[in-house]
Amino acid sequence: MGSIDVAAQAEGIRKFTYHNRSCNCLVYTDEEPPRGPNKDAIRIAVQFAKLADAEIIEEVQFMRKVVVDGSNTSGFQRTGLIAVGGQIEYEGGKLELDQICLEEDSCRHGENKDEYLLDRLGIPLLEVTTKPQLKKPEDVQNAARALGRLLRACKVKRGLGTIRQDVNISINNGQRVELKGFQDLATMPKVVENEIRRQENLNGLKQGNVGKPKDVTELIFEKKGTAIARRNIIKVSLKFSSIPHEVRFRYSSSLVILRPAAPGTGVIAGASVRAVVELVGVTDILSKVIGSTNPGNVVKATLGALSELETEEEVRSRKMINSAKSDHNVEQDGEEATG
């Protein structure tokens, strides 16, 4: 089947959180069945291509671009090439276009790390790529303003954030740097000017001494292990030095039985069960393994059993909540019957 992408494998240890503030949509949960592209989006994309005198592709093929940063719940972004070439006029000259694509928008970043908002996921997005012909910060702003006017003529969605512009900047002997997500065009010349100055300052630096390389492999694996452990934390309810009640849990062909024990009994268990229960602070317990004694299966069965433990207070609270829900349903049924 092939190898797993290294970047995607690294992103797999992160835990993403998604917030839905608008409606229930199958796109948000990656459950939307295959459908054709949005007809209005296709119409607008073709209209823009004609206004820019671009060469429209005879047959549009949508491709998948892999996304591993969590900004798309499906793990990829659909993109279709609509047209190539063309040009627009702006105050100061003409700017040639490279290509015009139709793609789907991604999630917005939330307030916290790895947190995303779903309110714009899947919305059709027209991506216009220009050629590197702009020489001055003012030209960048004027060209961006001309692009915006042409898009608004096609009746695209209006408002701050609906048109976002990325600017690639490079100077002689410098690296190309992408400034993403310009929304307020008034700030564009100043930001571009600052980036040019930053690159010029880097070019003026003299070569420094290269220090000895450090091996950080162990640190990376340690952090990866910690991240995986935090993602799989479970809550274990205890009663003094033992467990509150008997519990059974089966994983694969291994069945683990845990029973509470009186103080001073100690941990009566095999090596695999002992390693787990001692980690959670249990010092008195009786246990039995039925079936396979495979250490991996026994450990997972023990963790499953511990996760199902409940104290008397937790059981009482859960029953009260269930009772309240039942009473509420009965009252609603009665009202409907009398209506």
What pLDDT shows up at residue 43? 92
Closest CA to 105 of 169, 157, 35: 157
| Look-up of token digits 């408002």 | 159
Whether 331 has a pLDDT exceeding 90, the answer reads no
Kindly report, residue by residue over 288-307, the tens digit of the pLDDT.
999 999 999 999 999 999 99
Provide mean pLDDT across the span 172-199: 86
C-alpha dihedral (17, 22, 24, 28), degrees to nearest 10: -40
pLDDT of 338 > 50? The answer is no
Q: Which two tokens stand for residue 153?
A: 């003529």
Indicate the pLDDT class of residue 110, thresholds 50, 70 and 90: confident
Phi then psi for 46, rounded to 5 degrees?
Answer: -70, -40
For the beta carbon of residue 146, count every other beta carbon within 10 angstroms.
Answer: 17
Closest to 167 in 3D by CA, of 180, 156, 158: 180
Under the banding of pLDDT at 50, 70 and 90, the label for residue 130 is very high
pLDDT value at 225 more than 60: yes
Q: Quick check: 337 pLDDT over 50?
A: no
Could you count the other beta carbons within 10 Å of the beta carbon of residue 46? 19
Tokens of 107: 């999630």
**Is 246 within 8 Å of 258 (Cβ atoms)?**
yes
Q: How far apart are CA 232 and CA 225, in angstroms?
A: 11
Q: What is 223-256 written as a DSSP string? A: HHHHHHHHHT------BTTB-SS-EEEEETTEEE
Checking if the pLDDT of 47 tops 90, the result is yes
pLDDT score recorded for residue 171: 85
What is the model's pLDDT at position 336? 37
- Can you give the pLDDT at residue 333? 44
User: If you average pLDDT over each of 8-12, 180-184, 255-259, which comes out highest?
Assistant: 255-259
Beta strand residue intervals within the chain, DSSP E: 17-19, 55-56, 62-66, 76-84, 87-90, 93-104, 108-109, 115-117, 124-130, 165-169, 177-182, 247-251, 254-260, 267-268, 285-291
In the predicted structure, residue 56 carries a pLDDT above the cut 70: yes
Q: What is the pLDDT of residue 245?
A: 92
Q: Tokens representing 51? A: 């206004």
Counting beta carbons within 10 angstroms of the beta carbon of residue 48, is it exposed (0 to 12), middle (13 to 18) or buried (19 or more)?
A: buried
Q: Which two tokens stand for residue 121?
A: 């996921």
Contact (CB, 8 A) for 60 and 81: yes
The answer, as to whether pTM is greater than 0.85, is no
pLDDT at 180 exceeding the cut of 60: yes
Mean pLDDT of 153-164: 74
C-alpha distance across the termini of the chain, in Å: 61
Q: Whole-angstrom Cα distance, residue 290 to residue 185?
A: 69
- pLDDT of res. 299: 92
* Percent of the chain whose pLDDT exceeds 90: 33
- C-alpha 203/C-alpha 175 separation (Å) is 10
Chain centroid to Cα 307, Å, comes to 28
